[in-house]
Amino acid sequence: MKAPPVTISCRDLTLRFPVYGVDAKSLKKHLARVTVGGRLGSSMAGSTEVTALSQVNLELKAGDRLGLIGHNGSGKTTLLRALSGAYEPDEGQIEIQGRIAALLDLSLGIDPSANGYDNIRLRGRIAGLSSREIEERMEEIGEFTGLGPFLAMPVKTYSAGMQARLAFAAATSVEADVLLMDEWIAVGDADFQKLAHKRLLKLVERAGILVLASHDLDLLRLYCNKVVRLEGGVASPVTDIRKLDELLAA
């Protein structure tokens, strides 16, 4: 049976978060100063409510490489998390066909008291791999980390660079139809970064759809063919990447 085509569909996606113990007026003044953030309102429980995403509409198909631009707090990461399934919409809906890989937080699922091998297993399960799939990839992942015998030791004995190698290798071992990334990942020393870049490129090439949030406009021009600008949780229409400068000037 043929698998359905890879697609992402967001219709009127709206996300709200209650903020407790904060005066709405003071929060509104703060958001005005930084010129970013969602709209404020009041919930029925009496708390201040921030609309992080408002009526976002997206239609993506295989081959689409979407860049997300906008100031810090504009809603880029919130949108990525919603697409990954971490947030349920308050209004509207999200429909995704295909296996999702969300490279949003490399430290997610890392247990400092467990050894490297067990952390690879844990990270793999979080990514949706079966136990058999993880064991089949264990040798390749371990070899890519370059950690050798350290993989049998607790992660709490690792340096920050060693932990980053382990997390990156495990997170990028997935096969994804839909790849979600919050900034392009660069970890480890110069030599490892070259290997990491090649590995990431292969993952991007194999994915049907890429959604990448980044402040690096040259990077977006290089890897994306479409772009959306987010401001205060409101998204622009999906635009051809060749019109990026026009979108920024709007």
User: 148: which DSSP letter?
Assistant: G
Q: Given the structure tokens 């949780």, which residue do they identify?
A: 233
In tens, the pLDDT along 68-85 reads 999 998 999 999 999 999
Question: What mean pLDDT do residues 213-235 have?
Answer: 96
Tokens in use for 83?
């697409």
pTM (2 d.p.): 0.85
In tens, the pLDDT along 23-57 reads 555 555 554 444 445 555 555 555 678 899 999 99
Contact (Cβ atoms closer than 8 angstroms) between residue 179 and residue 106: no
How many angstroms separate the Cα of 71 from the Cα of each of 75, 96, 134, 201, 227?
Answer: 9, 26, 37, 26, 14
Residues in CB range of 178: below 8 A, 6 or more apart: 6, 8, 83, 96, 98, 99, 100, 101, 207, 208, 209, 211
Q: What is the pLDDT of residue 33?
A: 44
In tens, the pLDDT along 152-204 reads 999 999 999 999 999 999 999 988 899 999 999 888 888 999 999 999 999 99
Q: What is the pLDDT of residue 45?
A: 55
Backbone region of residue 209 per phi and psi (left: phi > 0; alpha: psi in -120 to 50; beta: other values): beta
- pLDDT bin (cut points 50, 70, 90) of residue 122 is very high
Query: β-strands 226-231, 65-69: how paired?
Result: parallel
The dihedral over CA atoms of 133, 134, 137, 138, expressed in degrees to the nearest 10, equals -150
How many angstroms separate the Cα of 82 from the Cα of each of 9, 39, 77, 237, 238?
Answer: 12, 18, 9, 18, 17
Which domains are present in the chain? 7-99+212-249 (3.40.50.300), 106-174 (no CATH)
